[in-house]
């Protein structure tokens, strides 16, 4: 019933574009590391009115099977500010259609009356005891994309087997039901409630549980600049700073309000560093603000930059995690009861992220655990730990996703922004910058120097060929034993479940057949992973040198890492031969 997407298909048909029609109509969306995500437009593998209706019908069918009290407990729906005129597609409209499918089947729906940060949906699912929730967002993806993120009753993103079962249910009911197109139901149905005020108030109240130096925050002269990257973050970060006793951060005026075209940045991903933070850094210089915090468009991730002697340091996700890990543990130690047991304390990270938390845990006596890439694995594991009486202080993924505390079982840029502000204010009182503290952490626990980047590859067969070659390197079913001059100690292949370091040669982490991921542990202490992105056409590489505290020559470690990455690209990815596009500087 969407004229714009209908016209797109008709036009392709009239112009004989059969290959593109096949590409659009002959495959379905599947759940990746962040739910369903694709370009907006016509076709079954795109995000549009119809695919969102079909997905919600499948979810309804599955939830009805799983929960006898589904129609008492209800469902949460949130959305960001994305939109595309050419396909008459916006996050709000897709959220209304999601709600319509459920309301037409007499399911109570908690539908936010305005855009919210992604973390508000999992938070609301837990607070309101709903059976599940959906957030319509494509996070930091390019402006053409949108997505559909599903949260289970535990407040974590769905993992296997739920995703597989939902896909089956979607395929069983692809024809829209009679009430499914009625997007006005959210305005008329008595089963629709707006949870905005309650959830926002509760969230800000819960946030205070991880505020440890309120008096300092009230008094500090430190100034902060915040950019919300044309997304949802502005109002919520302002409120979070207020909850911690801070003066509000200075917003970047050109990026403060939602804009689905993200018109001041070439891509809306704060992870891209200084090039996309230009406006906020210039404003900070003008205002004499020492720290810039940037939330991505759906406010679930955080980038941080700090001014040092006239230039800026943009921290990587791994560096920020070292700071957060140190901070959350120090605050726990300072404030825990006398009988608190450090062995009951946990921190988590995805397996492609820095091992710095492992080093801190070994020295301080708490537990550290790894999960597969994607916060859905962290959220589920954290819930298990909490249910077993454990205390989880912090979890992260290197792509600037942080979970401070456990009010939200997903990454949260709003809470992370205000925690880093409190940390900066505290350190300023000790005459230290964030960067100086980071060096202290590395000197105490050992340098962890990492580099993450990617190549673009739009040809799935090429990606498959690259990884299959690694699995049959020196002959059938034999992985490489070296990479250039660097000897390989162990290989772990999450796609096939192989791990040469285990006695039974089986990976401890669960197998993930739907994506490619191989990790190499080198003799020189470097760990490197090659994997495909779950949300974009990328081959990513992650490499880290983990040194002991006594190995403190940073420049030697950096040089060694750089050489190893060069060998990895040249020998394993072969960009020229495979037509890979280098990440633009």
Q: Which positions are catalytic? A: 139
Residues 6+ apart with CB under 8 A from 30: 36, 167, 514
CA 65 to chain centre: 29
The structure tokens 């003008």 sit at: 286
| CA separation for the pair 71, 35 (Å, rounded) | 24
Terminal-to-terminal C-alpha distance of the chain: 43
Nearest-angstrom CA–CA distance, 318 and 402: 10
Backbone angles phi, psi at 76, to 5 degrees: -105, 135
Helices (H), 220-273: 233-243
**In whole angstroms, what is the distance from residue 352 CA to residue 372 CA?**
8
φ and ψ at residue 578, rounded to 5 degrees: -95, 0
CA atoms within 13 A on the CB side of 276: 26
**What tokens does 414 get?**
């709003």
CA atoms within 13 A on the CB side of 442: 23
The string of DSSP letters for 303-314 reads EEEEEETTEEEE
Contact predicate 217/98, CB 8 Å:
no
Distance CA 549, CA 473 (A): 36
Q: Is the alpha carbon torsion for 150, 153, 156, 158 positive or negative?
A: negative
Distance CA 553, CA 443 (A): 10
Pairing mode of beta strands 291-295, 302-308: antiparallel
What SS3 string covers 338-361? CCCCHHHEEEEEECCCCCHHHHHH
Q: Is 334 exposed, middle or buried (0-12, 13-18, 19+ CB in 10 A)?
A: exposed
Burial, 210: exposed, middle or buried (Cβ in 10 Å; 0-12, 13-18, 19+)? buried
296 vs 310: CA distance, rounded Å: 25
The 3-state DSSP class for residue 477 equals coil
Encoded tokens for 137 = 């967002």
């Amino acid at each position: 019933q969407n004229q714009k997407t209908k016209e797109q298909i008709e036009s392709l048909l009239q112009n004989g574009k059969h290959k593109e029609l096949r590409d659009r109509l002959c495959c379905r969306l599947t759940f990746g590391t962040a739910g369903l995500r694709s370009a907006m437009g016509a076709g079954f593998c795109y995000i549009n009115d119809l695919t969102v209706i079909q997905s919600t019908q499948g979810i309804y069918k599955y939830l009805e099977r799983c929960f006898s009290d589904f129609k008492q407990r209800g469902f949460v729906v949130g959305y960001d500010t994305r939109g595309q005129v050419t396909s008459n597609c916006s996050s709000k409209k897709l959220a209304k259609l999601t709600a319509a499918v459920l309301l037409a089947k007499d399911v109570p729906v908690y539908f936010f009356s305005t855009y919210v940060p992604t973390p508000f949906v999992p938070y609301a699912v837990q607070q309101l005891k709903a059976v599940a929730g959906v957030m319509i967002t494509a996070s930091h993806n390019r402006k053409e994309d949108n997505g559909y993120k599903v949260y289970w009753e535990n407040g974590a993103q769905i993992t296997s087997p739920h995703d597989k079962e939902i896909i089956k249910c979607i395929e069983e009911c692809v024809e829209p039901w009679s009430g499914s197109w009625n997007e006005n139901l959210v305005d008329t149905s008595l089963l629709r409630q707006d949870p905005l005020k309650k959830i926002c108030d509760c969230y800000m109240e819960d946030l205070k549980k991880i505020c440890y130096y309120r008096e300092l925050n009230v008094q500090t002269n430190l100034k902060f600049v915040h950019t919300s990257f044309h997304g949802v973050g502005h109002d919520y970060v302002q409120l979070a700073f207020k909850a911690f006793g801070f003066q509000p951060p200075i917003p970047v005026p050109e990026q403060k309000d939602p804009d689905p075209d993200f018109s001041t940045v070439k891509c809306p991903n704060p992870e891209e560093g200084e090039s996309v933070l230009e406006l906020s850094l210039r404003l900070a210089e003008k205002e004499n603000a020492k720290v810039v915090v940037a939330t991505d468009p759906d406010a679930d991730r955080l980038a941080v930059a700090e001014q040092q002697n006239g230039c800026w340091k943009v921290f990587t996700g791994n560096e920020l995690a070292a700071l957060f890990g140190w901070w959350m543990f120090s605050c726990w130690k300072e404030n825990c009861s006398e009988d608190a047991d450090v062995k009951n304390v946990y921190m988590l990270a995805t397996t492609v992220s820095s091992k710095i938390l492992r080093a801190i845990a070994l020295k301080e006596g708490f537990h550290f655990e790894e999960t597969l890439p994607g916060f859905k694995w962290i959220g589920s594991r954290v819930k298990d730990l909490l249910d077993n009486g454990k205390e989880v202080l912090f979890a992260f993924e290197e792509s600037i996703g942080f979970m401070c505390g456990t009010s939200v079982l997903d990454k949260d840029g709003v809470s992370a922004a205000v925690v880093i502000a409190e940390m900066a204010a505290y350190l300023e009182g000790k005459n230290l910058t964030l960067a100086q503290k980071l060096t202290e952490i590395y000197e105490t626990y050992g340098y962890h120097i990492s580099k993450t980047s990617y190549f673009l590859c739009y040809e799935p067969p090429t990606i498959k060929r690259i990884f299959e070659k690694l699995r049959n390197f020196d002959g059938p079913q034999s992985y490489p034993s070296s990479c250039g001059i660097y000897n390989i100690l162990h290989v772990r292949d999450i796609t096939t479940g192989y791990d040469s370091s285990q006695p039974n040669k089986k990976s401890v982490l669960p197998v993930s057949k739907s994506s490619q991921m191989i990790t190499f542990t080198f003799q020189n202490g470097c760990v490197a992973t090659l994997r495909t992105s779950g949300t974009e056409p990328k081959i990513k590489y992650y490499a880290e040198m983990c040194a002991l505290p006594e190995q403190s020559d940073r420049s030697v470690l950096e040089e060694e890492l750089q050489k190893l990455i060069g060998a990895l690209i040249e020998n394993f990815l072969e960009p020229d031969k495979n037509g890979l596009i280098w990440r633009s500087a």
